[in-house]
């Protein structure tokens, strides 16, 4: 039996119901199916909630910003002589920030977790529709983590959709 986190029980139930909307749950596990799918989904939803909670308390994720990378590339460009150094500069310049600048980082990460859960388990594809499960799951994650109801996840969900379409998941079943 799966240990349920008492702090998130009602939100886990709501999120799983949204994942099931429109059909049954997908089973992304290629091999080990010893744990029933329903328990596996509950575990993954709880992990998603804990990952977002950890982001709130983990200050290391905000220590280095995109502007730091850009400043480093600019400084290195002045002294680069070898191909390896030029390659390092291009890699620094190609770094893109997640969440994007001027985005609400917490809402963005909630939307990213909702996207992950939908890609893994939902029969529906994540869309920008306000009535769809993607924004509802993101709002439930936000409320579970902060205790505040958020009715406006549209911008964060749109940013996640844009970023995921730019760099699609190579493990995704969808093409």
- The HSE-up count of residue 64 (CA atoms within 13 Å, CB side) is 9
pLDDT for the residue numbered 78:
84
Which pLDDT band holds residue 137 (cuts at 50, 70, 90)? very high
pLDDT for the residue numbered 95:
63
Which pLDDT band holds residue 45 (cuts at 50, 70, 90)? very high
Share of the chain above pLDDT 90, in %: 23
How far is 143 from 107, CA to CA, in rounded Å? 10
DSSP-derived 3-state class of residue 17: helix
Q: Where are the domains of the chain?
A: 9-51+99-166
pLDDT for the residue numbered 148:
87
| pTM metric for this prediction | 0.74
- The HSE-up count of residue 144 (CA atoms within 13 Å, CB side) is 31
> In the 3-class helix/strand/coil scheme, how is 71-135 assigned residue by residue?
HHHHHHHHHCCCHHHHHHHHHHHCCCCCCCCCCCHHHHHHHHHHHHHHHHHCCCCCCCCCCCHHH
Residue 169, pLDDT > 70, answer no
Q: What is the mean pLDDT of residues 144-163?
A: 88
How far is 78 from 130, CA to CA, in rounded Å? 48
What rounded mean pLDDT belongs to the chain?
81
Element (H, E) at 69: helix 66-79
Residue 170, pLDDT > 90, answer no
Which tokens go with 127? 């869309």
Q: How many residues does the chain have?
A: 175
Taking each helix axis as running N to C, give the angle between helix 105-121 and helix 154-166, from 0 to 180 degrees, rounded to the nearest 10.
Answer: 60
């Amino acid at each position: 039996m799966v240990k349920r986190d008492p702090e998130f029980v009602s939100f886990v139930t709501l999120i799983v119901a949204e994942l099931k909307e429109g059909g049954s749950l997908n089973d992304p596990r290629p091999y080990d199916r010893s744990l029933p799918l329903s328990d596996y989904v509950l575990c993954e939803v709880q992990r998603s909630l804990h990952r977002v909670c950890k982001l709130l308390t983990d200050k290391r994720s905000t220590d280095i910003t995109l502007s730091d990378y850009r400043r480093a590339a600019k400084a290195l460009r002045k002294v680069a002589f070898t191909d390896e150094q030029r390659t390092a500069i291009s890699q620094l310049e190609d770094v893109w920030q997640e969440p994007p600048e001027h985005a609400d980082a917490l809402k963005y990460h909630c939307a990213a977790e909702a996207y992950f859960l939908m890609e893994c388990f939902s029969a529906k594809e994540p869309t920008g529709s306000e009535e769809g499960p993607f924004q509802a799951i993101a709002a439930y994650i936000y409320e579970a983590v902060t205790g505040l109801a958020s009715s406006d996840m549209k911008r964060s969900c749109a940013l996640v959709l844009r970023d995921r379409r730019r760099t699609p998941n190579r493990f995704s079943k969808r093409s």
